[in-house]
Amino acid sequence: MSSAGELLSLIRDGRAVTRPELARQTNLSRSTVAERVRALLAHELVCEAGGTPSTGGRPPTRLVLNQGAGVVLAADLGTARSRLAVSDLSGELLAERVVELDLAQAPDGVPASADGGFAELLAAVCRSAGEVWGVGIGVPSRADRADPADEPPPGWDAATVQHHFSRRYDVPVLVDVDVNVRALGERWVHWRDVEHLIYVDAGSSIVCGIVAGRRVHRGAQGVAGHIGHIALEDRDDALCRCGNAGCLDAVAGGRALAARLTAAGLEAETGVDVVRLAAAGEPLATQAVRDAGRALGEVLAGAVTFFNPGAIVIGGALSAAHEPLLAGVREITSARLLPMATRDLRMGHSRLGDRAAVIGAAVLAIEHLLAPETVDAVVRPRRG
């Protein structure tokens, strides 16, 4: 039996937006649908948006998510810069800003400046703290422990950040690592019709966010998607920071590419430098990015066979040179994969760039707040 929360999901997805359509989709009686829609209307989760074009008679009233019923606070917390936003319930950002962080000014590593920033953003969109339904936060990943220099300082872990914002806002606070929220953000804005997606963050190191059935797949220890330490064949010459040889990071990570270019007499320290050289037409840099794409393609070919995603989205610093990067990936995946696996596989580069994480953080909170089980707990009539 489809609950009120499940009806809301159908309305949000546009799969059924009138009472007759909801009855048809769910096989519920018209009176049951009417009762559940009444509950959604009473809780201001949906609103009526006029009739649909009809072939005669009174058109059935269209129902839409009441996206302004509440707001969500979202943040992409970085160790140098953070992006804060206020979102409506459809994931549309109403206001956003970038704040520079001084870690010395941030007790426990959690930015107190985020609290002030949220208050100012709420004021800017004329909403109050009482209208905040939830908070979504992306935090720097801690899983790449092979290089202590990359580690965010203590206090940036999901549990501490969750605790910090839970004390300030008496609403659900959802926290996940940045690569996972970026995956959610990219899917939400540009790949909404795809249920299963791999988002690759190709920067100094290479890591994936995995969306399976529209939800983030984190794995048993929360480190699913750490493909940077998958070993490539015949690349024992590439020594990785983790102590092994032939890891994808050591072959195709931004730092590894920069080191190769430095050895060839060019000036490059990071993946950003490599991309800059490629954009300036330096053939060695373009070649290095294409080779990185091939190495990434080797690992992704295995991932695609295993996971069968609908789309692969490549972001991170190296994706600024997406043409040679994606060409390398496609060259290897199309050669290695069965046509069945690639026929409907779509591939593209990140189009949200630096905004992917904050949008994804909002989506993380919204998908929790509007999930059928959460909605049902809210609209269920109290007994006794």
58 close to 332: Cβ distance less than 8 angstroms: no
Selected range binding Zn ion among 74-82, 161-169, 228-236, 336-344, rule: CB under 5 A: 228-236
The yes or no reply on residue 247 touching Zn ion (CB under 5 A) is yes
> Binding segment for Zn ion among 37-45, 57-65, 234-242, 259-267 (CB under 5 A)?
234-242
CB of 337 to Zn ion, least distance (A): 25
Say how far apart CA 201 and CA 319 lie, in whole Å: 8
List 19, 229, 290, 322, residue binding Zn ion (CB under 5 A): 229
Structure tokens at 71: 């707001």
Directed axis angle between helix 178-190 and helix 356-369, to 10°?
80
Residue type, 91: G
Measured between alpha carbons, how far is 22 from 35 in angstroms, rounded to an integer? 12
State the minimum distance, in angstroms, from the CB of residue 271 to Zn ion: 17
Query: How far apart are the C-alpha atoms of 360 and 94, rounded to whole Å?
Result: 14
Q: Which span (25-33, 46-54, 160-168, 237-245) binds Zn ion, by CB under 5 A?
A: 237-245
Angle CA 144–150–156, to nearest 5: 85
Q: How far apart are CA 201 and CA 141, in angstroms?
A: 12
Q: Is residue 127 part of the contact set for Zn ion (CB under 5 A)?
A: no
252/363 with CB nearer Zn ion: 252
Burial 69-93 (b: 16+ CB within 10 A, else e): ebbbbbbbbbbeebbbbbbbbbbeb
**Which range in 60-68, 117-125, 241-249, 294-302 contacts Zn ion by CB under 5 A?**
241-249
Q: Which of 94, 158, 224, 242 binds Zn ion (CB under 5 A)?
A: 242
- Closer CB to Zn ion, residue 247 or residue 359? 247
Per CB under 5 A, which region of 174-182, 196-204, 211-219, 238-246 contacts Zn ion?
A: 238-246
CB of 247 to Zn ion, least distance (A): 3
Say whether residue 74 binds Zn ion (CB under 5 A).
Answer: no
What is the footprint of Zn ion within residues 310-349 (CB under 5 A)?
none
Q: 64 or 242: whose CB is closer to Zn ion?
A: 242
> Residue 16 or residue 256: which is nearer to Zn ion going by CB?
256
- Joined tokens for residue 372: 């059928």
Question: Measured from the CB of residue 249, what is the shortest distance to Zn ion in angstroms?
Answer: 5
Residue 293 C-beta: closest distance to Zn ion, Å = 19
Three-point CA angle 43, 192, 305, nearest 5°: 130
Nearer to Zn ion, 175 or 200 (CB): 200
Residue spans of alpha helices (H) in the chain: 4-13, 19-26, 30-42, 112-124, 158-168, 178-190, 248-252, 254-263, 271-279, 283-307, 322-336, 339-342, 356-369, 372-379
The answer to whether residue 10 forms part of the interface with Zn ion (CB under 5 A) is: no
Encode burial over 123-159: b for 16+ CB neighbours within 10 A, e otherwise: eeeebeeeebbbbbbbbbbbbbebeeeebbeebbbbe
| Cα 379 to the center of its chain, rounded Å | 28
Beta carbon nearer to Zn ion, 135 or 240: 240
Q: Which is nearer to Zn ion, 242 or 341 (CB)?
A: 242
Q: Is 240 in the site for Zn ion (CB under 5 A)?
A: yes
Per CB under 5 A, residues contacting Zn ion are: 229, 240, 242, 244, 247
